[in-house]
Amino acid sequence: MSRIEVTVISGRSLSQAQSRERGKFSDEYARSVAVCELDPDDMNELGAMEGENVRVTTGFGQVIVRAAVSKQAPHRRIAFVPYGAWASMLFDASTHTSGMPTLKGLKAIIERAPEAKVATLQEITNMKAE
Amino acid sequence: MRGMSKTTSENVICTFCASGCDDLEIRHDARDIDSARNGCAISISRFTSVKENRILKPLVRTRRTLRPTTYARAIDRAARILSKAKYPLLYGWSQTSCEAISKGVELAELVGGLIDNTTTSCHGPTILGLQDAGEATCTLGEVRHSADLIIYWGCNPIHSHPHHTTRFTIFSKGRFRKARKERRLIVVDVRRTDTAKLADRFIQVQPNRDYELLTALRTAVNGEELEQDSIAGVPREVIEELADMMVECEFGALFFGLGLTMTAGKHRNAEAALSLVRDLNYATKFVVIPMRGWFNVTGANEVSTWQTGYPFAVDLTQGYPRFNPGDTSAVDALARGEVDAALVVASDPVSHFPKAAVKHLLKIPIVTVEPKRTPTSEASEVVIPSAIIGIEATGTIYRIDGVPLEARKVIDPPAGVRPDVEILDAIIKRTKSLGVRR
């Protein structure tokens, strides 16, 4: 299958927090944050290889990130993208009168995108400006 | 070099997450940190990377490029931007001291702005929930000494608060609970997280259905029958068994995270969790502590409440405070294109806000007060570098459970770099001298 439907959630990860301290413009930060962790069975179904790029699309935006086999599985049909500029391309600004945007629990499509490039932090900021 | 002798500072407080770990040992001289011990992986990275990615000089944008300038010029430009704006947003505040936050509220009142802190995109819904349901709570010390049942719901402290389990819950040595086998751990999450792997019972709830599970648990705790066979992906018998574990414990502690506040239901999820704990207190002793993120996000709520009456999302444009999340909250005001300038202190909304809010933020002048380079500082009109609280400057912070701590200075900031509180005070003074419209 070249695409799967998932629920996408964002959150803190240890490597995201550690690399943030070293600097948001570091390669290490991009490697820890521009990633989508998938359940191993979902990964197989999608036919994606570890480290291959995928396109994540929600009703609010899309982003290219690297696919990784989740070490916190099972979580069939749930994709985890750590907090960061890449994840925030996907989320709904509507807060339902709470002030809180929806950063977890949105429906998303994941497609293989081995040819597509992961944007740099600078490019993501430009995309947000468009 | 003269005056560069090495020393070890003990009982240093970590300023990353809001657990307020106060057992760090930092080996350092006046300027540099050699090593950090006792902290978690994030804490060690924070202390040993203190010099990396720093902003060393104030910057002001001229002809589309950020160029170095003096503090006086940067502060003048910041004051002019804020006093000219009709509806400035003053945002961030969770990674600075209470003293600086206090100045921030004063500035918001002076310029007639909207002041909001990162609670708004974190545990804001929890605060709305506890305004409805109340909060049966205690300090982390009481949990460590007495709790025999720990619940982590929608949070993954092994990643977000790495020493929470060892200092305060299952692996901590308390007065009355000395070992892991004297405590039980329930984890409720949508993934089998690294925290869930430590649990005696792991409950995998379906995404966006925590409210149903919490309500079912309340039903069972209150001795009512559950009619459905399975709720939110969890079999009825399991829910009844969990309810029994909760009612039968001697001292239970529920810690919940953004798995409740960021998903469908938001503040209603928080209210349901707080109500569950309230109900449990008819049967046993039970407390709840939200897993607050940044090291002084709780302090931001405290200071904002002392000075305005409200914990976050406070609009001061009318000359009196208004609190109406959804209207007076940062993401909403940005996404509607209402604010016309922003002061960002110790935060990075350009990275972390949804695209629809960032799009407007990038159209308006931003003043950033921040120690390190971020996408927000890069997009700013004015960037004012600041000292890092708890490493290069002393300041008051509030732990996750509302205990205030003095986060002390360990080393000097980079040459010439000032603490937030001084920078904000200077912006206030300059704004007053420019003459305020209101």
Handedness of CA B51, B93, A27, B19 (dihedral sign): positive
Q: Is A58 on the interface with B (CB under 8 A)?
A: no
B331–A99 C-beta distance less than 8 A: yes
Under the banding of pLDDT at 50, 70 and 90, the label for residue B60 is very high
State the Cα–Cα distance between residues B117 and A29, nearest whole angstrom: 24
Domain span holding position A56: 3-129
- The whole-number average pLDDT for the span B56-82 is 97
B192–A122 C-beta distance less than 8 A: no
Determine contact, residues B59/B67, Cβ cutoff 8 Å.
yes
Q: Where do the domains of chain B lie?
A: 59-120+295-393+414-434, 124-290
A125–B329 C-beta distance less than 8 A: no
B392: left (phi over 0), alpha (psi -120 to 50) or beta: alpha
In this prediction, what percent of chain A has a pLDDT beyond 70?
A: 100
B42–A14 C-beta distance less than 8 A: yes
Mean pLDDT of chain B: 96
Compute φ and ψ for A9, nearest 5 degrees: -125, 150
| pLDDT for B12 | 97
Of B204, B262, B353, the CB nearest to A104: B262
Under the banding of pLDDT at 50, 70 and 90, the label for residue B436 is low
Cα angle, residue B389 at apex, residues B21 and B79 outer, rounded to 5°: 150
Of A94, A101, A129, the CB nearest to B362: A129
Q: What are B255's strand-pairing partners?
A: B152, B289
CATH architecture of B59-120+295-393+414-434: 3-Layer(aba) Sandwich (3.40)
Evaluate if residue B438 carries a pLDDT over 70: no
The alpha carbon of residue B35 is apart from the nearest alpha carbon of chain A, in Å, by 15
Evaluate if residue B1 carries a pLDDT over 80: no
Evaluate if residue B361 carries a pLDDT over 90: yes
Interface predicted TM-score (ipTM) of this complex, two decimals: 0.96
Counting the structural domains of chain A, the total is 1
Among chain B residues, CA nearest to A7: B207
Task: Please write the tens of the pLDDT for every residue from B95-119.
Answer: 999 999 999 999 999 999 999 999 9
Q: Which fold has domain B124-290?
A: Dimethylsulfoxide Reductase; domain 2 (3.40.228)
Q: Is A96 on the interface with B (CB under 8 A)?
A: yes
In this structure, what CATH number is given to the domain that contains residue A99?
A: 2.40.40.20
Q: How many CA atoms lie within 13 A of B99 on its CB side?
A: 15
Instruction: Sort B228 into a burial class: Cβ within 10 Å, 0-12 / 13-18 / 19+.
Output: exposed
Cα angle, residue A80 at apex, residues A75 and A85 outer, rounded to 5°: 175
State the Cα–Cα distance between residues B307 and B282, nearest whole angstrom: 35
Q: Is A61 on the interface with B (CB under 8 A)?
A: yes
State the Cα–Cα distance between residues B180 and B429, nearest whole angstrom: 55
Instruction: Sort B108 into a burial class: Cβ within 10 Å, 0-12 / 13-18 / 19+.
Output: buried
Evaluate if residue B195 carries a pLDDT over 90: yes
Low-confidence ranges of chain A (pLDDT < 70): none
- The whole-number average pLDDT for the span B203-215 is 98
- The whole-number average pLDDT for the span B27-48 is 96
| pLDDT for A2 | 85
Residue environment code for B28-39, b if the CB has 16+ CB neighbours within 10 A, otherwise e: beeeebeebebb
Q: Is A103 on the interface with B (CB under 8 A)?
A: yes
Q: How far is CA B9 from CA B13, B14, B35, B244, B398, in A?
A: 10, 12, 11, 47, 21
- The whole-number average pLDDT for the span B375-396 is 98
What residues of chain A lie within 8 A of the CB of B127, using their CB? none
| pLDDT for B107 | 98
Evaluate if residue B375 carries a pLDDT over 80: yes
Residues counted in chain A: 130
User: Which residues 73-92 of A have a C-beta within 8 angstroms of B?
Assistant: 73-75, 78, 80, 83-85, 88-89, 91-92
